[in-house]
Structure 1
Amino acid sequence: MDFEFWNNCWVKPTQPFHLTKPHHFLTEYFDQYFADKERVLLPLCGKTQDLNFLAQNGINVIGVEFNPRAVESFFADSKLTPEVTSFDNKTRYQTSSIEVWMADFFNINQDDIGHFQAIFDRAALVALPPKMRPDYAKHLISFLAPQGRLLLVTMDYDAEQMSGPPFYIDKAEIEELFPNTEIKQLARTSIIQSHPRWRELELSRLDEVLYEIQLKTV
């Protein structure tokens, strides 16, 4: 992970990958995939409003984010005062229903946060360069409980027109990254008009694609 790149991104007042409201796939599929879950994991969560949306809907939400500026901005912007605990190069920010771990995601394990019936990866996998994705996918899926669901958002565009991040990831790569799983495309939507930065690039297309990933039963 390029810490300097993402830190520079968070310094800017706006970024195309940060939304000021909950992600539309999360709100659209909340009732089907999240409403009955006690806990939900958001990897590489930044300062997403998905945390507040889930908490306000009765979910105990756990986020993991390595950038301190993003974590501190989330709690400041949300006017929340968390309890802060640090140990083993990890810092946990905790309120009654929101828990954010400021740490390298690879240093977080099941002893820290347990397993989940629902995981929402909105902007984590697409932020990682190819060489990091296999290890990330293996680590991420280790937090998924049996019969649980990982909802993964990817980006689809002409890779000759933009190099990323966010990186182009197709279904074939997802199948390689998550073996022994059942993968289904749930939705696709164009976001090319959603931010000035995307419009400046003059891409022929820029779609978000939502996949459902479930461990195969033995």
Structure 2
Amino acid sequence: MTDWYSRWESNKIGWHADQVNQNLIDYFSKLDLDNGDKIFVPLCGKSVDMFYLLQRGLRVVGVEMSDIAVQQFFSENKLEYSVAKVDDLILYEGDGIQIFCGDFFTLKANHLVDVKAVYDRASLIALDKALRQKYVNHLNDIISKDVRVLLLTLNYPQHQWVGPPYAVSKLEVDSLYGGSFQCQELQNISDIENEPMFLLQGVDFVEKAVYCLQKVRM
């Protein structure tokens, strides 16, 4: 995961979107959240989706390896913040938002007390196959029963593109989460025409999927 830090250092952040993800807007209600509830955004970068969640009246908790990304999030959204050391992480905290800076795998359940939902726009697909099961296992360990997850994935012929983002099929989602989560597929569309980098590489197809998961086992 250290490769991601070097990408932030060199400003090679082509995955960062300047607009709120439309799927978050369309399927936000599936998370069944009330005003003031807390939502966790893993591998959050400086995502504008977090500011959108704040505007929806939620409290946001993120985790991000790069301090550059975290500082840019607060600066670009004109949010004041404080900085403190919490266990092996550095906590950046503003009004309604906490972002832990450090390794996702050092995050503990006590850092996510009262979290009611998880928003994963680009975390799972940012990890290669060797890390994805470890990521899901750790997420399962640090969130409570009944927490819902809004998960966005991409699927395409992996041999035609090196990644990241990596290809994650519905079969793999079912395999990764099936032991501890209920899984509902909300959307699965073919959308290669809106993915110019895949078109340039001659990728045969790109599927975009949205899932709502709910943790059912401790």
1:72-118: CA deviation from partner (whole Å, max 9, x where unpaired): 11111112221111243311111111111101011110112225221
> Hey, what does 1:33 align to over in structure 2?
31
Any stretches of 5+ residues in structure 1 without a counterpart? none
Change (3 A) 1:10 1:115: farther
Segments of 4+ moved more than 6 angstroms? none
Stretch moving more, 135-144 or 117-126: 135-144
Query: Partners of 1:59 and 1:28 in 2: how far apart?
Result: 17
Change (3 A) 1:127 1:10: farther
1:118-141: CA deviation from partner (whole Å, max 9, x where unpaired): 111111111111121111101112
Amino acid at match of 2:101: M
Q: Counterpart of 1:208 in 2: which secondary structure?
A: strand
Q: How much does 1:147 deviate?
A: 2.3
Alignment of 1:99-138 (within 5 A): 99-138=98-137
Greater share of residues in helix: 2
Contact 2:124 2:135 in 1 (8 A): yes
Change (3 A) 1:144 1:89: closer
- With normalisation by structure 2, the TM-score equals 0.89
Query: Partners of 1:91 and 1:36 in 2: how far apart?
Result: 28
Q: Counterpart of 1:182 in 2: which secondary structure?
A: strand
Query: Partners of 1:44 and 1:14 in 2: how far apart?
Result: 13
> Hey, what does 2:208 align to over in structure 1?
208
> Hey, what does 1:160 align to over in structure 2?
159
Stretch moving more, 182-191 or 66-75: 182-191
> Hey, what does 1:57 align to over in structure 2?
56
Any stretches of 5+ residues in structure 2 without a counterpart? none
Query: Partners of 1:163 and 1:42 in 2: how far apart?
Result: 25
Stretch moving more, 120-129 or 192-201: 192-201
What percent of counterpart residues are identical?
Answer: 28
1:23 equivalent in alignment to 2:21: yes
Contact 1:35 1:57 in 2 (8 A): no
Change (3 A) 1:36 1:10: farther
Superposition RMSD on alpha carbons, in Å? Answer: 2.2
